[in-house]
A and B are shown apart, each in its own frame.
Chain A
């Protein structure tokens, strides 16, 4: 089974500061990971998929197999980044358990 853990429930940074949301995984095969975001009063939506190696809204996430991590990073946080962030494995074998989530607050 694929499992992810997010060790930080809450994270608070000031606007313009770098931010890193941690995600660690345990996998039996090749890892494939996603970051989802839930802004206030909006539905959960996909933010990043590691396969595409893309940058969305200034966020990037690199898969580190040595550390079994998939941390989400942004060099300069903005107030509109305040949201709940979830690390998640792919849909596979009817298993879809998200990480516990990290609530990011970006203070002005």
Chain B
């Protein structure tokens, strides 16, 4: 149990376009999901906390108008990178805790390349 999926697993887009990444909890409901960014061989950087039914909470330095988060249901959160630029190229990872749980379950990540 406690499986988190992400779609797509990789995506290439042109500079200036927008791309949406989905994070789904497959066998449990998640009122909260987290979005991270990871550069090659670097640590996870928390970008934002996605809350079902309310606005996401963004970390300092993360542009909320650029990284749009929508927690549409108890099993789906989406991250939309708007007007993507090459510097947005990265590995984006989501995670979710089980209700009442204390640990996180992670998606496999989405590699975004902006050309």
Q: Which residues of chain A have a CB within 8 Å of any CB of chain B?
A: 32, 34, 36, 43-46, 49, 84, 86, 88, 90-92, 94-101, 103
Q: Which residues of chain B have a CB within 8 Å of any CB of chain A?
A: 32, 34, 41, 43-44, 46, 49, 51, 57, 93, 95, 97, 101-109
A98 near B46: Cβ-Cβ < 8 Å: yes
Q: Nearest 6 CB-CB pairs, A to B?
A: A90-B102, A91-B97, A101-B43, A44-B106, A43-B108, A100-B43
Main secondary structure of the interface of B (DSSP, over half): strand
Measured between C-beta atoms, what is the minimum distance from B38 to chain A in Å?
Answer: 9
A-B contact count (CB 8 A): 53
With both beta carbons as reference points, the residue of chain A lying nearest to B57 in the complex is identified as A94
B106 near A86: Cβ-Cβ < 8 Å: no
Which listed residue (B41, B44, B93, B105) contacts A103, Cβ 8 A? Answer: B41
